[in-house]
Structure 1
């Protein structure tokens, strides 16, 4: 009855699926939790409905219509402008010509090992494409050291060779590869190596089916790479500005929708506008086009631990009025208002637990990627003490569910 069966071995009377075994071993070499649909990123940042429509359309049009060598779209902008939300929305978009897609969402919170970048993409593509998986499995069985090879070797073997010389892959359709947060990859040299490999690939193989979406902050070494004349032909730049008219309109729409949601959720003055139009515009003007500020404001106002959104709105307005910043350029100092808001949020933490709060924030700042309970044990805190220390910080920290603390990690927004 096993006449046509493949990919199985028998060991001691037990059937072993070698395909599953291979994929499990390959998974161990990847950057866990980096894919766009990984539970480690749940809930991922997404564009609020009705926002970023123009940018998203330009990105999708590029993916569908790019030709020849120009197959990289560089999405660049300061921290907090919503690049990851844009990339997440692109990754989730319905794109019929795109047959396969793979993604890496780098993060300093434990997902920043650039040496695993290629194998991470390889695993995702192998899980979706049988001819590609067979190719990868055959090559690794022949030379297991490929899993520890240089990025250059892995790129040539697992990207160049199959997607340029394998007929099942070259003729199947477009493949989309998304790399978000490149600047959060652990070493600037690794970031440049990845950029060089991708740009050289686009230049040398203009008929390649792969389209690359790369997002980063405008770090000097990344900006200087894209400024090279030898790279100009391979990419289009999508700059996400801090305070453009488009960004401000999107932030205003986000604030209105979310404040309405909070009003309904807390049954606040259903017959009248809340907050007042004047107060709304104070919030909107302070946010400008910076989504991270608007998002933090909404989390702070709607924090269930406080349970008084009106009081929270007044608290934010006091911070805005106390820090008017008339001579501060938003483009040069986009985080000035956000810094003032963070200071206000931290001021709510009682002095009696501030020591524990600072310990947890320090571990978050240095990129702790383990489970919340392991962190508590390492710091010598009970779970109850740790939750008390961060109870007032839900607007700036993704606090894991109490019952899931053994597995979840602490994340900043």
Structure 2
């Protein structure tokens, strides 16, 4: 090396020393086992290598789904091609690395180490402004990263990949917000040759920022797919074979290994926990572990406890009440609900969204996507007195009844206030439901998700409620004002088969509390039973059948709905309804 070149190198090194040293461990962890995750790894690498794809790929999924393992696999592939620019791993146990400026400095330093043109541009910027490393983060991002990368881009052929793993583990609030903002907006300025892979859980702040950005491709890591189960089965086979070979013990039956893979629910962390637990047992107990899901699931209890404990202050009602309701939704509802539906049902948008954000480590929380538990064992944990009985989030029988009462009341209120005649604005009254070509679109526009849920499942929640004056009042009001409108929606949704069961639940609830309502509901069941085929086939038959039914007398008449038909279609419908206008 010539003297001048040596001096230049020393000068540049002194400039680079100004960059903040962040604690990012770039020692790559274990990648995917051979044969597993082939499709998604191939898809991601091809996207990162393609000049026609988005600059950034956001791989999101629930905790334990294998995001970091995939990130390490992709990093190894590009490192072997000398195309790995930097690898940033966030770790909640190392608070000092939750620093947006540190991330910028780290990536800039790594790129400068591998490209002389980026190194020169970076050092020139540091030489021109001695205070640059103390400027605001956006200025540093532009001067230390965007400009040097732009200077190096003409001399680079092929992609240079930067990876940020576990973005959700960045816990410093200002830095987290700043880094998310940089990725969502400023990183669109990076030269096309530079690509970024980000992995994280679908925390609400990350999801809101990254979705619908043209330079970001959002890719969900599914856990419930056949491919995920097959990959876990392959993973377990390899691990078990290695264990048996090492210990010189008999291999478990293939059916047992398949059972364990199925119980994992697509979560590699669950399978790994089960495998590690097996290592501690002798052969006589291994079969027990393979067959007992609860035994293995309990190993995740400390994770659940820690996540819930850190989610918020459970001694404060403004957190604990919406939190328990959200958890009840996850455990008790008949179908998963989106954040929007939960908000509408509970009438507490701020509380629900705050809780979902806080519980993102144990729930799949993506805006507009049904909220789900990461694994079935989480629901078992919440309702098992031996596992969470001494915790404020334990959903015992009394708590479930109380929360079911809240959900029942809200469903009935929603139905009473939102249902109306001809809710989907049908132009003709003589068509069968199957003949309405745009019925699906009309249902989406006319029946919001929360109203559809209430219509289909109010009785499910009612079945878990004890005696309640509030519920009795709302139930009576619902049947007085909205029975036929509810049947109309049930017909449109293709759920007439469940209507009889729902009325039967209400009739059992009313017994001993309201004899008039009980008699009325018994007549309603007879009415529906008589006309199920007609009501199922055509929504207008809901009104035709009831308007001409001989059961409209006595108690039935007392509760019969009085319609106020002010719609322009009233004259067309009036003959079907048997009403004089």
> Unpaired segments of 5 or more residues in structure 1?
10-15, 342-346, 348-413
Whether the 8 Å contact between 1:163 and 1:208 is mirrored in structure 2 is: no
Indicate whether 1:63 and 2:48 are aligned: yes
- Which residue matches 1:320? 294
Deviation readout 1:210-269 (Å, 9 max, x if unpaired): 111111110011111123x5x2x1121211012111111100100111011111010002
Deviation readout 1:370-409 (Å, 9 max, x if unpaired): xxxxxxxxxxxxxxxxxxxxxxxxxxxxxxxxxxxxxxxx
- Which residue matches 2:273? 296
- Which residue matches 1:177? 162
Whether the 8 Å contact between 1:30 and 1:117 is mirrored in structure 2 is: no
Change in CA separation of 1:314 and 1:144 when aligned onto 2, cut-off 3 Å: farther
Larger radius of gyration: 2
Return the alpha-carbon distance in structure 1 between the equivalents of residues 2 and 267 of structure 2.
62
Whether the 8 Å contact between 1:301 and 1:313 is mirrored in structure 2 is: no
Kindly indicate which of the two structures has a greater share of residues assigned to strand. Answer: 1
Whether the 8 Å contact between 1:45 and 1:84 is mirrored in structure 2 is: no
Deviation readout 1:4-41 (Å, 9 max, x if unpaired): 433439xxxxxx94455555x356x1322332xx2xx6
Whether the 8 Å contact between 2:55 and 2:188 is mirrored in structure 1 is: no
Indicate whether 1:83 and 2:57 are aligned: no
> Unpaired segments of 5 or more residues in structure 2?
299-330, 337-362, 365-371, 382-386, 388-581
- Which residue matches 2:4? 5
Match of 2:182 among 192, 197, 204: 197
**What SS class does the counterpart of residue 78 from structure 1 fall into?**
coil
Q: CA deviation at 1:123?
A: 1.4
Q: CA deviation at 1:126?
A: 1.5
Return the alpha-carbon distance in structure 2 between the equivalents of residues 18 and 204 of structure 1.
29
Return the alpha-carbon distance in structure 1 between the equivalents of residues 42 and 32 of structure 2.
13
Whether the 8 Å contact between 1:48 and 1:254 is mirrored in structure 2 is: yes
TM-score normalised by structure 2 residue count: 0.48
Match of 1:243 among 211, 224, 230: 224
Pick 1 or 2: higher relative contact order, CA cutoff 8 A, min separation 6: 1
Change in CA separation of 1:309 and 1:101 when aligned onto 2, cut-off 3 Å: farther
Q: CA deviation at 1:115?
A: 3.2
Whether the 8 Å contact between 1:30 and 1:123 is mirrored in structure 2 is: no
Cα RMSD, aligned residues only: 3.3
- Which residue matches 1:394? none
Match of 1:275 among 242, 245, 252: 252
Match of 2:285 among 311, 315, 318: 311
Change in CA separation of 1:74 and 1:169 when aligned onto 2, cut-off 3 Å: same
- Which residue matches 1:400? none
Whether the 8 Å contact between 1:114 and 1:186 is mirrored in structure 2 is: no
Number of equivalent positions: 311
Return the alpha-carbon distance in structure 2 between the equivalents of residues 19 and 322 of structure 1.
54
TM-score normalised by structure 1 residue count: 0.66
**What SS class does the counterpart of residue 5 from structure 1 fall into?**
helix
Return the alpha-carbon distance in structure 2 between the equivalents of residues 83 and 310 of structure 1.
34
**What SS class does the counterpart of residue 4 from structure 2 fall into?**
coil
Indicate whether 1:104 and 2:81 are aligned: no
**What SS class does the counterpart of residue 270 from structure 2 fall into?**
helix
Kindly indicate which of the two structures has a greater share of residues assigned to helix. Answer: 2
Deviation readout 1:334-371 (Å, 9 max, x if unpaired): 24537989xxxxx9xxxxxxxxxxxxxxxxxxxxxxxx
Change in CA separation of 1:191 and 1:313 when aligned onto 2, cut-off 3 Å: farther
Whether the 8 Å contact between 1:73 and 1:214 is mirrored in structure 2 is: yes
**What SS class does the counterpart of residue 22 from structure 2 fall into?**
coil
Indicate whether 1:136 and 2:110 are aligned: no
Change in CA separation of 1:112 and 1:194 when aligned onto 2, cut-off 3 Å: closer
**What SS class does the counterpart of residue 8 from structure 1 fall into?**
helix
